[in-house]
């Protein structure tokens, strides 16, 4: 029994190849997880002192790290599945998000991943932290998601059964007063849960074209832009200028020969790479502002010569216009 993790363009072709491979079992990753754009932007703002309240950043960061841990765990499993990560779908005017959807031959697994940490308890359906603060009920979220997914699948002509689970990926999480019948998988149960999944996969038929068509259809229906994104107000003048460290996210950088070195964590990055990164940050944070040598010189806090900035801009962007009205544009980011 083998294992493979593949990214595919034409899934149907690939599945045919797999059937030809006989006993080789595969986890097919049809849609990779990407770091949410909101999280990327909040990280840029945080580094430059543009976040008064960073709770949203930490929530997103923690959630994303949990999902990455889940992906790592799942990719190491045996079995034959198609994995579609991070879907934003719509049914009857309502949006729903799926952390991880795993399509097997005879059923669909819906996984909602939570990276909660600490002690919590259930009190008549309410989710409470040990310090008696109520938190958003993740079970309700899972149930709503399952209902919407079932309706969507039916509308696409699929009566496939759905098995939903809340995965608590963090080993430091404890939930008191909960029934073992609830669809929860705690970190300590992951090994047993993987055995159950494998058993279900090996006792069902091999994957055929129908589930793979469903996976492709769901990817087509996925919406890229999340309306849940909510960026705080920020202004160029208020953000700290300079180069952000790739290691620690700080801005105590010094230029040593042709590299930027971090005074805090000693991370090093080639000067032109660091400038290019700073330009992309600028572009994402201020898409309506013009990219010019002088502008980037100001954005990078005067740490790099205009000559060096011009060189990076010329090598990576297209210059349009003349003299004072000239600006650099990015074809694709």
Long-range contacts for 49-55 (Cβ within 8 Å, ≥24 apart)? 49/238, 49/239, 49/240, 50/232, 50/234, 50/238, 50/239, 51/232, 52/232, 53/232
Give the residue with the Cβ less far from Zn ion, 198 or 265: 265
Q: What are phi and psi of 135, to 5 degrees?
A: -115, 165
Q: Judged by CB, which is closer to Zn ion: 56, or 268?
A: 268
Which residue from 262, 274, 275, 278 is in contact with Zn ion, where contact means CB under 5 A?
A: 262
- Return the residues of window 203-232 that contact Zn ion according to CB under 5 A: none
Under 8 Å between Cβ of 92 and 151: yes
Q: How many residues bind Zn ion (CB under 5 A)?
A: 8
218 or 245, CB closer to Zn ion?
245
For residues 162 and 108, is the Cβ–Cβ distance under 8 A?
Answer: yes
Joined together, the tokens standing for residue 27 give 């986890």
Does 309 bind Zn ion (CB under 5 A)? Our answer is no
265 binds Zn ion (CB under 5 A): yes
46 lies in the binding site for Zn ion (CB under 5 A): no
Q: In 10 A of CB 74, how many CB atoms? A: 24
What is the spatial distance between Cα 45 and Cα 47, in angstroms, rounded to a whole number?
5
Q: Which stretch binds Zn ion (CB under 5 A): 91-99, 134-142, 239-247, 288-296?
A: 239-247
CB nearer to Zn ion: give 29 or 262: 262
Give the count of alpha carbons within 13 A of 84, CB side only.
Answer: 25
| Segment interacting with Zn ion, rule: CB under 5 A, options 50-58, 119-127, 222-230, 244-252 | 244-252
Q: Does position 178 bind Zn ion by CB under 5 A?
A: no
Residue pointed to by tokens 């898409």: 287
261 lines the binding site for Zn ion (CB under 5 A): no
Residue 245 near Zn ion by CB under 5 A: yes
* Cα–Cα dist 137/126, whole Å: 7
Residue 264 within binding range of Zn ion, rule CB under 5 A: yes
The answer to whether 248 contacts Zn ion (rule: CB under 5 A) is: yes
Q: Is 218 helix (H, G, I), strand (E, B) or coil?
A: helix
Q: How far is the CB of 34 from Zn ion (least distance, A)?
A: 24
Nearest CB to Zn ion, comparing residues 63 and 250: 250
40 versus 222: smaller Cβ distance to Zn ion:
40
Which residues of this protein are in contact with Zn ion, per CB under 5 A? 245, 247-248, 250, 262, 264-265, 267
């Amino acid at each position: 029994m083998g294992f493979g993790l593949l990214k595919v363009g034409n899934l149907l072709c690939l599945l045919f190849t797999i059937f030809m491979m006989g006993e080789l079992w595969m986890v097919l990753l049809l849609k990779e997880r990407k770091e949410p754009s909101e999280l990327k932007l909040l990280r840029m703002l945080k580094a430059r002192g543009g976040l008064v309240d960073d709770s949203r950043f930490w929530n997103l960061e923690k959630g994303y790290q949990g999902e990455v841990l889940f992906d790592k765990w799942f990719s190491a499993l045996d079995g034959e599945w198609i994995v579609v990560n991070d879907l934003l779908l719509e049914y009857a005017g309502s949006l729903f998000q799926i952390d991880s959807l795993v399509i097997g031959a005879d059923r669909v697994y819906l996984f909602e991943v939570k990276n909660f940490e600490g002690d919590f308890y259930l009190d008549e359906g309410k989710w409470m932290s040990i310090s008696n603060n109520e938190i958003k009920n993740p079970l309700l979220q899972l149930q709503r998601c399952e209902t919407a997914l079932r309706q969507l699948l039916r509308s696409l002509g699929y009566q496939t059964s759905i098995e939903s689970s809340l995965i608590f990926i963090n080993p430091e999480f404890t939930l008191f007063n909960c029934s073992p019948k609830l669809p929860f998988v705690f970190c300590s149960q992951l090994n047993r849960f993987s055995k159950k999944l494998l058993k279900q996969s090996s006792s069902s038929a091999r994957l055929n074209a129908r589930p793979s068509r469903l996976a492709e259809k769901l990817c087509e229906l996925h919406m890229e832009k999340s309306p849940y994104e909510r960026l705080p107000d920020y202004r160029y003048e208020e953000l700290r200028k300079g180069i952000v460290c790739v290691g620690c996210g700080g801005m105590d950088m010094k230029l040593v020969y042709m590299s930027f070195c971090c005074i805090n964590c000693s991370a090093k990055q080639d000067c032109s790479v660091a400038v290019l990164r700073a330009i992309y940050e600028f572009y994402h944070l201020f898409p309506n502002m013009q990219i010019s040598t002088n502008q980037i010189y100001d954005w990078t806090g005067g740490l790099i010569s205009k000559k060096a900035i011009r060189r990076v801009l010329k090598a990576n962007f297209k210059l349009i216009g003349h003299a004072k009205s000239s600006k650099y544009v990015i074809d694709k980011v």
